[in-house]
A = this chain, B = another copy of it.
Amino acid sequence: MPKAWLLPEHTADVLPDQASDVESLRRSAIDAAAGYGYRPVMPPLVEHIESLLTGGGAELDLRTVKVVDQISGRTLGVRADMTPQAARIDAHLLNRQGPVRLCYCGPVLHARPRELGASRDPLQFGAELYGHTGLEADLEVVQLALDIVQLADVGPVGIDLNDVRVVSALVGSQPLRASVQADLVAALTAKDRAAVTAAASGLDADCASALRSLVDLYGPAREVLDAAVRCLPQQGPVVQALQDLQWLVGHLEALHPGLDIGVDLASIQGFGYYTGVGFALYAPGHGEALMRGGRYDDIGAVFGRRRPAVGFSVDLKAVAALRTPPAAPRAILAPWGESAALREAVRGLRAAGEQVVVLLPGQQAHLGEIAHDRRLVEVDGRWQVQAVDLAAQTA
């Protein structure tokens, strides 16, 4: 039998120092979202599969672990993404007419890692703004995402913007077979000009040429948008998308001077899911996007209400992995005893936010295993906290 302590591939325990850090990231993300008016929801770990896969398409389906419900016999999915769950809550349970702001944080499960080196067991934090079609909503969500990643202090972040409407408009009314669309998305994502040419071989020449030009349309936001205006056909939806990106870039420049803002028009991850501007935040030394988000209107349709929506999500464990976990807090050691005065002293220190580890009888031999810098000692009948000579301790 394999060793019982081996974990499934692409899953890992988060040990105390790192887990404390994830917990503090979790709290700062939830609190930052609360400051903008995003209120928490906790959907269940499993749902009927048809509820979980709304809008997510084949990719989400493949990533979702299915089980048969022992009670109903129906197929349940273990959530691989909490976004459809939040959309269900907005559409069906809250039933508001105006904008609704929700956030959530919990583990999700992926049948296979989403990308090379990714975990199958991320801790997903996300925030969603429903019920507003304006760019002001997109901007608010980007700002919140930036606030959270800046609180995480993982170095200077950069943002890449994109808009799936550009590709949609270029392909236009030409019907695409699913396989052609998949090839096109893969070719554009890989920025592989030859593959784009091959995938677009059935499309008309102007369209194929425009799709090829997307491969070069990435880099600093202003330059890319200027180039796009020059080289893309000025169809209505393309013009609209470029104007929207201009608007967002302008506001982000004003709000975050010094932020590295890029545009990548060939980036169409989530094609068929997003319906407008999309964004990805990058941290130095981490090739994959740290956070992804964007607009995905109509997500609530399957729940009976079409609602505009814009949001983002992030794996907080992946963010924590980029940080140096703070040193473990140093405890105050207290002796075990039945004295009421001692117990009151311990209680008071804990209530004041101190970590007080009581030395259980016999634990003396393993003191070195407890990170501590103070002790609670009795002096003249009163319990006092005294510093421990750390140099002597390590010697």
Contacts and interface: CB of A to CB of B under 8 A. Distances in A.
Interface of A: 1-2, 4-16, 19-20, 22-23, 27, 30-32, 34-37, 39-48, 50-51, 54, 65-67, 69-72, 74, 76, 78, 85, 88-89, 91-94, 96-102, 106-107, 109, 111-112, 120-121, 123, 132, 134, 136-137, 140, 251, 254-255, 302-304, 317, 328-329, 331, 336, 338, 340, 343, 350-351, 353-358, 360-363, 365-367, 369-370
A40 B20 contact: yes
Nearest to A102: B16
Copies of this subunit:
2
A368 to B, nearest CB: 9
Given A16-B41, A107-B45, A36 B350 contact: yes
A128 to B, nearest CB: 13
A70 B13 contact: no
Contacts of A362: 132, 134
Contacts of A6: 48, 51
A13 to B, nearest CB: 5
A140 to B, nearest CB: 6
Contact of A356 (B13, B36, B353): B36
B14 A121 contact: no
A93 to B, nearest CB: 6
Contacts of A46: 8, 11, 65, 109, 120-121
B41 A14 contact: yes
Contact of A44 (B11, B39, B47, B98): B11
B360 A15 contact: no
Contact of A36 (B32, B76, B100, B357): B357
19 contacts: A2-B48, A2-B74, A5-B93, A7-B47, A10-B71, A19-B40, A35-B353, A42-B317, A45-B109, A46-B65, A78-B109, A97-B369, A99-B363, A99-B366, A107-B107, A134-B361, A136-B360, A140-B360, A251-B338
Contacts of A32: 350
A19 B45 contact: no
Contacts of A41: 13-16, 19
Contacts of A39: 16, 19-20, 328
A112 B4 contact: no
A369 B132 CA distance: 14
Given A4-B51, A27-B27, A136-B336, A89 B358 contact: no
Contacts of A353: 31, 35
A167 to B, nearest CB: 28
A14 B42 contact: yes
Given A31-B353, A132-B363, 17 more contacts: A4-B50, A5-B92, A8-B47, A8-B69, A12-B44, A13-B42, A22-B42, A37-B355, A42-B123, A45-B78, A67-B67, A97-B365, A98-B367, A99-B366, A132-B360, A251-B338, A255-B343
